[in-house]
Amino acid sequence: MKEKKRTMAAIGLITVLLLALGAAGSAKNEKAALRRESQAENFAASAAKEALSEASEEAVAEISLTPEQKEFLDQLTEQMDRGDLEGASRTLNGYEIPWKEFPCMYDGTAMKAEVSDGKGLVFIKASTVFYGDFAGGSPQGACTALQVLELEEGKRYDYSRGTWEQGKMTGEGESGYNYYDGVTEDVTKMNIKKGTFQEDLMEGGVTYTSINAAGEETTWQFEVSGGVIVPDDRWIKETDSSGAVVYRLMAEGEEVHAYTLSESAMGESRWKNLIVYENWKAGGF
């Protein structure tokens, strides 16, 4: 009888222990479940916050356009794409740019307050635009830069077009200007410098062409290094009427037109890309 009671007591004790362990396990599982639920909620909240932040950034980056603004951008893009720099200059000069923060980029569908990778139209100021391929926020590949000016002698555009690497002209290209309105025969209407560029400076052979208002064209060819003229025996060193030293180079196939530079100008780095992109990235002039 006593043995039976001891057996029943042992069974009871075991039952109590099992119930206690079960309760502890349930509590532990419940805590783990609550912890997992809390972690899931935190992750979902974090993901939602990140998505909202990205959406907000995208909304800030994109600039809304009116139908008139988009028509202007499409027209300018088309003119730049076919190389009609005079037409693009007239379009740009005749439109009051509404955007105040630069740079901004139009990719054919949307205007954004940042320069993204791909092809598009990038404004670095109201009067200056780049069109072509971009990567890392800078011109990379084929690109044309255009700047319109209104000067006392007439309306003019400066331009640079060719190959760019990391925001600098590098490779074959040309840079110059054209007075498309208001010039007289006393002013050089067009100025064209063709050759090879190395980080915005011309290097090697240069073909320099000057065209007056009557359409008369004069061309010189010479060598430069780092944008500075390297004179050869074709350059004539002499003194002008004031006694100052000057250098003269006769035009190709002519004995009338001479390109004349002062001694100090000969040593200047003046053969280069006229529209430098890096200056605008740093905030403009």
Per-residue model confidence (pLDDT) at position 46 = 56
Residue 36 to residue 263: CA distance in whole angstroms: 81
Could you give the percent of the chain with pLDDT greater than 90?
67
- Determine which helix (DSSP H) or strand (DSSP E) holds 281, and give its type and residue range: helix 277-281
Average pLDDT value for residue range 234-261: 92
Average pLDDT value for residue range 49-68: 65
Of 72-76, 266-270, 281-285, give the range with the top mean pLDDT: 72-76
Average pLDDT value for residue range 195-223: 95
| Range of weakest confidence among 45-49, 62-66, 260-264 | 45-49
- For residues 3 and 177, which has the higher predicted lDDT (pLDDT)? 177
Residue 213 has pLDDT above 90, yes or no: no
Residue 189 to residue 153: CA distance in whole angstroms: 10
Q: For the whole model, what pTM was predicted?
A: 0.77
Residue 93 has pLDDT above 70, yes or no: yes
Average pLDDT value for residue range 102-117: 95
The closest of 279, 282, 280, 229 to 259, measured between CA atoms, is 229
pLDDT band per the 50, 70, 90 thresholds, residue 50: low
Residue 26 has pLDDT above 60, yes or no: no
Residue 282 has pLDDT above 70, yes or no: no
Torsion (CA) 52, 55, 56, 62 in degrees, nearest 10:
180
Per-residue model confidence (pLDDT) at position 222 = 97
Per-residue model confidence (pLDDT) at position 2 = 41
Residue 252: which region, alpha, beta or left (left: phi > 0; alpha: psi -120 to 50)? beta
Per-residue model confidence (pLDDT) at position 253 = 86
Average pLDDT value for residue range 20-28: 47
| Range of weakest confidence among 177-186, 204-213, 216-225, 243-252 | 177-186
Residue 71 to residue 89: CA distance in whole angstroms: 16
pLDDT band per the 50, 70, 90 thresholds, residue 254: confident
Count of CA atoms in the C-beta half-sphere (13 A) of 42: 6
Per-residue model confidence (pLDDT) at position 1 = 45
Q: How far is the first Cα of the chain from the last one, in angstroms, to the nearest whole number?
A: 108
| Range of weakest confidence among 77-91, 143-157, 241-255 | 241-255
| Range of weakest confidence among 185-189, 248-252, 259-263 | 185-189
CB 272 within 8 A of CB 173: no
